[in-house]
Structure 1
């Protein structure tokens, strides 16, 4: 896939620690505009929209939906964290629960060219980043809370070449850590997942001599244990001594944490470090102004950045059969990607808020959704 060499977005500046004001959920959402808000400050929005998709967005979506429905008492937003692959399939098939979707990757060039998005009147779609988060490598190892690992070692573990926790490749990077003589069990996603594609993209880009498979949202190997969704991965790691897996960082609490080597240092995951990687990434070349798909290259991760960063999207139609649905989708995504919405996600899920420059681009992109 070709990428722009020189186009850069001032996408994700330094991420500050955000504190939500106690009344934030009761304020009118900072959506695409205030055309829906009557003069008395209430909301004129009403109706129901439904979505399926990325489970990585689960915690953020719960918070977004609660705040949006509080501000718009006659609106119902249903978000079912089915996983990105199911979300994209539903959007293509035109499933009734897919007025918009969440996906841990944008549609690729081949999918865009093929079209056939059954949820939409036309094949013209809007794709905007809404949730940016590190993908944590988490483990369950008695007496060990943190580990340092480089790309080749991570690839060796998940390809099965390194199958015991006291292997020299791990021990040499963790002096003073008492590693047990215990089998390693990698955990992967059993369902098609954008988080999985983000992780395998990292392996393909940074350890090609060890990880010889192409990036994919489906796990390519027969080793390890599969689990459904982000919650399933966490449950599997938590329940299995010696288990290790990858999942959205918002769900990694209580598990052992991995600092990943970038350059000469080991970088623990954080919203700031994930933002630094995405900030250095260009947009995919040849897309419309309302298709803001990033091309993230883990091999080009700058010093101090965390090299496994998830850019999760909200995907919608530019034209809907029902104008009420179009209005609600436009307003909801506008709220999610607003400063208020991003602060809510940072508080609920530890994600990296979008920069003001990227928010402006998203606001322009959302204008492509026809509401009248």
Structure 2
């Protein structure tokens, strides 16, 4: 499923456009198809988060097109509405086709910016020519969120899993919910004699790359594949994009999957940990892990790819989603628009709005300072 959102002038127009896009249905957590999916997840506080504090109208004009991570979808909806409210001459399109699609589109010049749940690798930057850029792109961390392990097992609402057991489930080595390894971590829980259906992404996904990075790091004796945005094993059930995983887990029996926490909805979510200490996904834990993780070595100035600490205390599976932009655009007008939009995304207003609507973790003060300095270099 591919959804294209164009947020228009102010919140009311965004709602109207969402209604007009009703023919592009999506699936909610109960497995039923809905329309106007763009707005069904929006709390009533969206307007106050995006309009009351918006800057005065500007003279900016033009259109930006972005493609990328479905994990960023709700945040991008929120940022677009807030930015366009303050910049009535600007139209921004964001199509949540997945991180891999976003990076490919940016390489091919089909997007002015990309959203990706992983940064461009240094070798990818070196190997490719980016036609809209004078030089090379930079990765800006703008969205921090836990990855939730969601499950749909009748009668089970609480579930503890360690890294080895989680890896064995998704690899296909553990196939029953009442397996002794799951039971040993969940004393007192009535686990059914039911087949496990592990749902993974079918498309190239930054969420998958973060998920498999955790499994490869924390459970190397079980997970013998390297981290990858493409699912490395046969078996299980494949579904396209975040909404596909949500639909497959909610519509199945004995299902388990992984999604950005903003999309977890009413699902039961597993607690993860080790040595008898298990934690649910929280934005506080996600923010702390990112705050204490360094920038990758070998990165150019203002290229802010973060080397996440996958063995930190607390809930361990975190993603950082990036805004990928040119540091120097061929088109000066595009540069001006991208710089203004990126500045709004990284601002306290933009980060607060995304936190309220998408449940993401706002950037820390120190990370905000670094991201803002990188955005200031865009020309």
Task: Confirm or deny a common fold (TM above 0.5).
Answer: yes
Distance 1:240 1:293, change over 3 A: same
* Runs (4+) off by over 6 Å: none
Deviation at 1:262, TM superposition (A): 4.2
Q: Distance in 2 between matches of 1:252 and 1:133?
A: 12
Aligned partner of 1:105 among 96, 118, 123: 118
Deviation at 1:22, TM superposition (A): 2.6
Deviation at 1:288, TM superposition (A): 2.1
Q: Distance in 1 between matches of 2:131 and 2:57?
A: 34
Note if 1:94 corresponds to 2:106: no
Partner of 1:146: 158
Note if 1:83 corresponds to 2:98: yes
Q: Distance in 1 between matches of 2:306 and 2:248?
A: 31
What pairs up with 1:116-195 in 2 under 5 angstroms? 116-122=129-135, 124-195=136-207
Note if 1:74 corresponds to 2:86: no
Q: Summarize deviations over 1:316-351 as a string: whole Å, max 9, x none.
A: 012222211111100001100111000011001110
What pairs up with 1:1-372 in 2 under 5 angstroms? 22=48, 24-29=50-55, 41-95=56-110, 98-122=111-135, 124-262=136-274, 264-298=276-310, 300-302=311-313, 305-370=314-379
Q: Secondary structure at 2:153's aligned position in 1?
A: coil
Higher helix share: 2
- Retained in 2: the 8 A contact 1:26–1:70? no
Q: Distance in 2 between matches of 1:61 and 1:244?
A: 26
Q: Distance in 1 between matches of 2:46 and 2:200?
A: 34
Distance 1:225 1:24, change over 3 A: closer
- Retained in 1: the 8 A contact 2:98–2:205? yes
Q: Distance in 2 between matches of 1:107 and 1:217?
A: 12
Q: Which runs of 5+ in 1 are unaligned?
A: 1-18, 30-40
Deviation at 1:254, TM superposition (A): 1.5
Q: Distance in 2 between matches of 1:219 and 1:20?
A: 35
Q: Which runs of 5+ in 2 are unaligned?
A: 1-44
Distance 1:76 1:20, change over 3 A: closer
Distance 1:102 1:153, change over 3 A: same
Distance 1:233 1:314, change over 3 A: same
Deviation at 1:286, TM superposition (A): 1.8
Deviation at 1:256, TM superposition (A): 1.6
Aligned residues: 335
- Retained in 2: the 8 A contact 1:126–1:315? yes
Q: Summarize deviations over 1:73-105 as a string: whole Å, max 9, x none.
A: 11101000010000001111111xx10110000
- Retained in 2: the 8 A contact 1:126–1:366? no
Q: TM-score, normalised by structure 2?
A: 0.86
Q: Summarize deviations over 1:237-286 as a string: whole Å, max 9, x none.
A: 00001010101001011212100014541010010111122222111012
Q: Secondary structure at 1:57's aligned position in 2?
A: helix
Structure having greater relative contact order (Cα 8 Å, sep ≥ 6): 1
Q: Distance in 2 between matches of 1:261 and 1:204?
A: 15
- Retained in 2: the 8 A contact 1:205–1:297? no
